Amino acid sequence: MKEVLREIGMVARALDSISNIEFKQYALSKGQYLYLVRICETPGIIQEKLAEMIKVDRTTTARAIKKLAMNDFIEKRDDENNKKIKKLFPTDKGYNAYQFIRRENDFSNKVALSGLNESEINILFKLLQRVRKNTEKDWEYVKKGNKRIY
């Protein structure tokens, strides 16, 4: 059995760790860059969808965006038609930080993929997307309280 997932875990933790260290200078605390990036790229998204997208607990997301809003990186706006939801938008400050995050993430991508040629990168990306789609089904299933049998 090829330990594909173990490699993925190592890469993910290493990169997350690097990012968290590097974003401290922009007053972004642990994990926050994840949310801010998605909000900048999907303005108007709501908390619940954001959590699904990132694959993190709903309540963790709630607190992360609360802090992002408190520190003026994002803004929560009420919806006219739906009193329940709050749409999330980046502020100028948030969008600014986003530029830095992109720069850092792009660099990390480059480092991570160094030595791979264009075609290999494409193959990797395609395969990972399939893995991700497979995985997110189970994540949602288990998060809802269902039991997997194995």
Residues forming contacts to a copy of itself in the complex (CB under 8 A) are 1-18, 21-22, 34, 53-57, 103-109, 111-116, 120-125, 127-132, 134-139, 142-143, 148, 150
Question: Pick from a copy of itself, DNA, none: which does 107 bind, CB < 5 to 8 A by kind?
Answer: a copy of itself
128 binds, among DNA, a copy of itself, none (CB under 5 to 8 A by kind): a copy of itself
Nearest to 71, CA basis, from 40, 36, 119, 115: 36
Binding site partner of 59, from a copy of itself, DNA, none, Cβ cut-off 5-8 A by kind = DNA
Q: Closest separation between CB of residue 9 and a copy of itself, Å?
A: 5
Q: Which residues bind DNA (CB under 7 A)?
A: 13, 16-17, 20-21, 29-32, 46-49, 56-60, 62-64, 66-67, 76, 81-86, 143
- Cβ-in-10-Å burial (0-12, 13-18, 19+) of 2 comes to exposed
Q: Are 65 and 50 in contact (CB under 8 A)?
A: yes
Residue 19 in tokens: 């990012």
124 binds, among a copy of itself, DNA, none (CB under 5 to 8 A by kind): a copy of itself
Cβ within 8 Å of residue 148, ≥6 positions away: 138, 141, 142
β-sheet bridge partners, residue 77? 87
Min separation Cβ 143 and a copy of itself, Å: 7
CA contacts within 13 A on the Cβ side of 33: 25
Closest contact distance (angstroms) between CB of 98 and DNA is 17
Sign of CA dihedral 102, 63, 68, 30: negative
Instruction: Please state the closest distance from residue 101 (CB atom) to a copy of itself, in A.
Output: 12
